[in-house]
Structure 1
Amino acid sequence: MARQLYLGPLTDNRRWDRVTLRSDDVIVVTPPKCGTTWMQTIVALLFSGNPEIETDLSIKMPWVDIRMRDMDDVAAHLEAMEHRRSMKSHTPIDGLPLDENVQYLCVFRHPLDAHISFRHHVRNVPLRLFDMWYPEEDPDRIAFRRFLDGGPEGFDMDFMPLAHILRHYEAALRVADQPNVTLFHYADMTRDLTGCVAQVASILGVDHPADQMEKLIQAATFENMKAHAERFAPSGGKGFFKSDAGFFHSGTLGQWEDVLATEEIAAYDAMMDTHLSPDHRAWLEYGDAAKEKGRRSDPLS
Structure 2
Amino acid sequence: MEGVDFALLNTVTRPEVFEFEGISMVHYFTDNWEKVQNFQARPDDILVATYPKAGTTWVSYILDLLYFGNIADERQASMPIFMRVPFLESIFPGLPSGVDLVDNLPTTPRLIKTHLPVQLVPKSFWEQNCKVVYVARNAKDNAVSYFHFERMNKGQPEPGDWNNFLQNFMEGKKVFGPWYDHVCGYWEKKQTYSNLHYMFFEDMVEDSRCEVERLCSFLGLSTPLEERERITECTHFDKMKENKMTNYSTVPTMDFKISPFMRKGKVGDWKNHFTVAQNEQFDEHYKQRMQNTSLQFRTEI
Q: Once the 2 structures are TM-superposed, how far is the Cα of residue 68 of structure 1 from its aligned partner?
A: 2.1
RMSD of aligned Cα (Å): 2.8
In the alignment, which of 85, 89, 98 is matched to residue 61 of structure 1? Answer: 85
Give the counterpart letter for 1:109 in structure 2. R
1:77-105: per-residue Cα shift (whole Å, max 9, x none)?
42333421011111111211223520111
Q: Once the 2 structures are TM-superposed, how far is the Cα of residue 247 of structure 1 from its aligned partner?
A: 1.1
Question: Is residue 81 from structure 1 mapped to residue 92 from structure 2 by the alignment?
Answer: no
Question: Is residue 251 from structure 1 mapped to residue 265 from structure 2 by the alignment?
Answer: yes
Question: Is residue 195 from structure 1 mapped to residue 233 from structure 2 by the alignment?
Answer: no
Question: Is residue 142 from structure 1 mapped to residue 147 from structure 2 by the alignment?
Answer: no
Name the CA shift for 1:113/1:77 in 2 (closer, same or farther; >3 Å).
closer
Cα separation, 1, equivalents of 2:52 and 2:196: 19
Cα separation, 1, equivalents of 2:195 and 2:268: 31
Cα separation, 2, equivalents of 1:6 and 1:44: 30
Give the counterpart letter for 2:130 in structure 1. V
Give the counterpart letter for 2:204 in structure 1. M
Cα separation, 1, equivalents of 2:280 and 2:35: 38
Q: 2:283 corresponds to which residue?
A: 269
Q: Once the 2 structures are TM-superposed, how far is the Cα of residue 118 of structure 1 from its aligned partner?
A: 1.4
1:89-104 equivalence runs, <5 A: 89-96=114-121, 97=123, 98-99=126-127, 101-104=129-132
Cα separation, 1, equivalents of 2:91 and 2:275: 36
Equivalent position SS for 2:133 = strand
Question: Is residue 130 from structure 1 mapped to residue 157 from structure 2 by the alignment?
Answer: yes
Question: Which structure shows the higher helix fraction?
Answer: 1
Runs of 4+ deviating beyond 6 Å: none
Q: Once the 2 structures are TM-superposed, how far is the Cα of residue 49 of structure 1 from its aligned partner?
A: 3.0
Number of aligned positions between the proteins = 268
In the alignment, which of 120, 124, 133 is matched to residue 105 of structure 1? Answer: 133
Quick check: 2:53–2:146 contact (8 Å CA) kept in 1?
Answer: yes
Quick check: 1:100–1:180 contact (8 Å CA) kept in 2?
Answer: no
Q: Which runs of 5+ in 1 are unaligned?
A: 290-301
TM-score relative to the length of structure 2:
0.79
Q: 2:186 corresponds to which residue?
A: 172
Question: Is residue 8 from structure 1 mapped to residue 22 from structure 2 by the alignment?
Answer: no
Equivalent position SS for 2:274 = coil
In the alignment, which of 205, 216, 241 is matched to residue 254 of structure 2? Answer: 241
1:153-195: per-residue Cα shift (whole Å, max 9, x none)?
xxx341x6xx611111121122112210111100000011001
Quick check: 1:24–1:85 contact (8 Å CA) kept in 2?
Answer: yes
What is the aligned-residue identity percentage? 18
1:24-73: per-residue Cα shift (whole Å, max 9, x none)?
11111111110011110111010113395246222221111224269985
Q: Once the 2 structures are TM-superposed, how far is the Cα of residue 6 of structure 1 from its aligned partner?
A: 5.0
Quick check: 2:240–2:246 contact (8 Å CA) kept in 1?
Answer: yes
Q: Once the 2 structures are TM-superposed, how far is the Cα of residue 280 of structure 1 from its aligned partner?
A: 3.4
Cα separation, 1, equivalents of 2:218 and 2:149: 30
Quick check: 1:5–1:14 contact (8 Å CA) kept in 2?
Answer: no
Quick check: 2:36–2:88 contact (8 Å CA) kept in 1?
Answer: yes
1:180-234: per-residue Cα shift (whole Å, max 9, x none)?
0111100000011001111112222223322222111100111111122x12124
Q: Once the 2 structures are TM-superposed, how far is the Cα of residue 144 of structure 1 from its aligned partner?
A: 1.8
Equivalent position SS for 2:36 = helix
1:268-291: per-residue Cα shift (whole Å, max 9, x none)?
11111112238735x23459x6xx
Give the counterpart letter for 2:276 in structure 1. T
Cα separation, 2, equivalents of 1:258 and 1:278: 29
Cα separation, 2, equivalents of 1:239 and 1:272: 36
1:234-282: per-residue Cα shift (whole Å, max 9, x none)?
4x4343422398111011111111321222111111111112238735x
Give the counterpart letter for 2:43 in structure 1. S
Cα separation, 1, equivalents of 2:96 and 2:82: 16
Q: 2:6 corresponds to which residue?
A: none
Give the counterpart letter for 1:125 in structure 2. N
1:276-287 equivalence runs, <5 A: 276-277=290-291, 280=294, 283-286=296-299
Cα separation, 2, equivalents of 1:40 and 1:115: 21
Cα separation, 2, equivalents of 1:74 and 1:146: 27
